[in-house]
Amino acid sequence: MSDVRLIDIREEILSDNQELAGKIRRDLGRHGVFMLNLMSSPGAGKTSLILRTLSTLRDRVRIGVIEGDIASSVDAEKVSREGVPAVQLRTGGFCHLDAPMIERALKELDLTDLDCIIIENVGNLVCPAEFDTGSQRRAMILSVPEGDDKPLKYPLMFSVCDALVVNKVDYLGTSDFDLERLRERVCKLNPDIRIFPVSCKTGEGIAEWTGWLAEQVAGARPPA
Amino acid sequence: MHELAVTESILNVVLRHAGQNGVRRVLGIALRIGELSDLEDTWLQRYFDYLSKDTLAAGARLHIERVPVVFRCEPCRHDFPVNVREMDQVRCPQCGGERMTLVSGREYFIKNIEVI
Ligand SMILES: Nc1nc2c(ncn2[C@@H]2O[C@H](COP(=O)(O)OP(=O)(O)O)[C@@H](O)[C@H]2O)c(=O)[nH]1
Ligand SMILES: [Mg+2]
Ligand SMILES: [Zn+2]
């Protein structure tokens, strides 16, 4: 006869992933490199925003890209054509990127030669919200055709991000998407989030977005 | 679906603690998961049964406590629960205020294990 007993654990469920993510953040910090985890549904405009960001900031910020798109290596090719270092991750149908995958990808980038790394996460508003990749900041894109009710359907994603890019505002006139209603919904979940309405097509709002990103990058640099 | 990755992580943590405590079998695992996470209980249990088959934790039941989404009203500091699906109509029931912060609902936690 043995007695049933309780053992207290009190640990985060994803503690292994979180520990590694913390280690990645410290390594990046030592190199003065800033990393952004960019998330959205498929087709919201992650690749388009990265390309816009590269062409706007390239002269001031040395950027590398980690591509997590499952479909193909098309995105990494698009980015490489811009002449910046890009790593394509083979996610094998995985629904999100986690810290071990990012650790592997970082081995292929020369951190001494970079100021900023942008992760294009897998197109999905659910799973990537749960996994810390080791980035210092998280941003998501919501595109106008997806509708302003998305915070109600994907509350976790909206609550973990530091910035929300509302892309495809060139469609605003032809839809019932209400930017103010979106703002209200998002701010209830996450009062500190920064919201950037942009169009990767026309370039509207891109300067505000890249301004914020450049500030974050500068914040990661060690004092000279 | 990331239930598989999450379940794997739960199993790893549980087996680590079971090993440290000289456990023979794990009977139950108590979890606290916030309602903002959309992990499904039945899928978690199914993946767990599959992954834990040849381990000390084979057959263990997951007891999942859901932590409600609670907001705190900024002006009057009142805490109140909110249905995630009705978030666009949220107002403080005490003062009608609309500025609020999230107090709970994002938990992702292993509380304890029941063992012999
Ligand atoms: N009208 C419009 N189309 C856009 C905008 N940004 C991206 N797109 C288009 O949306 C589609 C998906 O964009 P992409 O960047 O590949 O999305 P991803 O899957 O999130 O990487 C492409 O056909 C883009 O040309 C925009 O601001 N306005
Ligand atoms: Mg893409
Ligand atoms: Zn109030």
pLDDT for the residue B1: 60
Closest CA to A129 of A103, A152, A159: A159
Share of chain A above pLDDT 70, in %: 96
- What separation in angstroms does the CA of A38 have from each of A26, A90, A131? 20, 17, 12
**Counting atoms of ligand 1 from 1, which one is nearest the CA of A51?**
15
Count of Cβ atoms closer than 10 Å to residue B114 Cβ: 17
Ligand 1 atom at shortest distance from the alpha carbon of A50: 15
Which residue's alpha carbon is at the smallest distance from atom 28 of ligand 1? A168
> What's the number of domains chain A is made of?
1
pTM of this prediction?
0.90
Contact status of A72 with chain B (Cβ, < 8 Å):
no
* Residue A92 touches chain B, beta carbons under 8 Å: no
Cα Rg for chain A, rounded, in angstroms? 18
Nearest-CA distance from A60 to chain B in Å?
A: 36
Supply the pLDDT for residue B106: 87
Q: Which runs of E-coded beta strand occur in A2-135?
A: 5-12, 34-40, 63-67, 86-88, 116-120
Provide the shortest C-alpha distance from residue A94 to chain B (in Å): 8
Average pLDDT in chain B: 91
A127-131, A198-202, B91-95: which is most confident: A198-202
Name A152's Cβ contacts closer than 8 Å, sequence gap at least 6: A185, B84, B85, B86, B87, B88
Which residue from A minimizes the CA distance to B92?
Answer: A188
CA atoms within 13 A of residue B25's CA, in its CB half-sphere: 12
Residue B48 near residue B42, CB atoms below 8 Å? no
Which residue's CA is the nearest one to ligand 1's atom 12? A43
Chain A residue numbers with beta carbons less than 8 Å from the beta carbon of B100 are 188, 191
How far apart CA B64 and CA B37 sit, in angstroms, is: 12
C-alpha–C-alpha distance, residues B33 and B29, integer Å: 13
Q: What is the CATH number of domain B3-115?
A: 3.30.2320.80
A4 in a structural domain? no
The nearest alpha carbon in chain A to B18 belongs to A7
User: Does residue A41 sit within a domain?
Assistant: yes
Q: What is the domain-level CATH number for residue A198?
A: 3.40.50.300
Pinpoint the alpha helices (H) of chain B.
Answer: 3-20, 41-51
How confident is residue B58, by pLDDT bands cut at 50, 70 and 90?
very high
Ligand 1 closest atom vs CA A202: 27
Query: What chain A residue is nearest to B109 in terms of C-alpha separation?
Result: A12
- Name the DSSP letter for residue B15: H
Q: Is A91 on the interface with B (CB under 8 A)?
A: no
Chain A residues lying within 8 Å of B114, measured CB to CB: 4-6
pLDDT > 60? residue A1: no
Per-residue pLDDT reduced to its tens digit, B92-114: 999 988 888 888 998 989 999 99
In a domain, A1, yes or no: no
Residue A209 vs residues A55, A79, A123, A167, B80: alpha-carbon distances, Å: 13, 19, 20, 11, 34
Query: Tens of pLDDT along A200-214?
Result: 999 999 999 999 999
Task: Give per-residue pLDDT as tens, A8-46.
Answer: 999 999 988 999 999 999 999 999 999 999 999 999 999
- Using CB atoms within 10 A of its CB, is residue B74 exposed (0-12), middle (13-18) or buried (19+)? middle
Of B2, B9, B100, the CB nearest to A95: B2
Whole-number pLDDT of residue A224? 61
DSSP A174: G
**Cβ neighbour number for residue A96 with a 10 Å cutoff:** 21
CB contact under 8 A, A185 and B87: yes
**Residue A17 domain-assigned?**
no
Span B61-90, pLDDT tens digits: 999 999 999 988 888 999 999 887 777 677
B2 C-alpha to center of ligand 3: Å?
Answer: 37
Domain that holds residue A80: 23-220
Is A183 near chain B, with CB under 8 Å? no
Pocket of ligand 1 from Cβ distances under 6 Å: A 40, 42-48, 123, 167-168, 170-171, 199-201
A29 domain-assigned: yes
As a whole-number percent, the residues of chain B with pLDDT over 90 amount to 63
| Residue A126 resides in a domain | yes
Enumerate the domain spans of chain B.
3-115
Picking from A1, A3, A6, A13 by the largest number of B CB atoms within 10 A of its own CB, the best residue to mutate is A13
In tens, the pLDDT along A137-195 reads 999 999 999 999 998 889 899 999 999 999 999 999 999 999 999 998 898 888 899 99
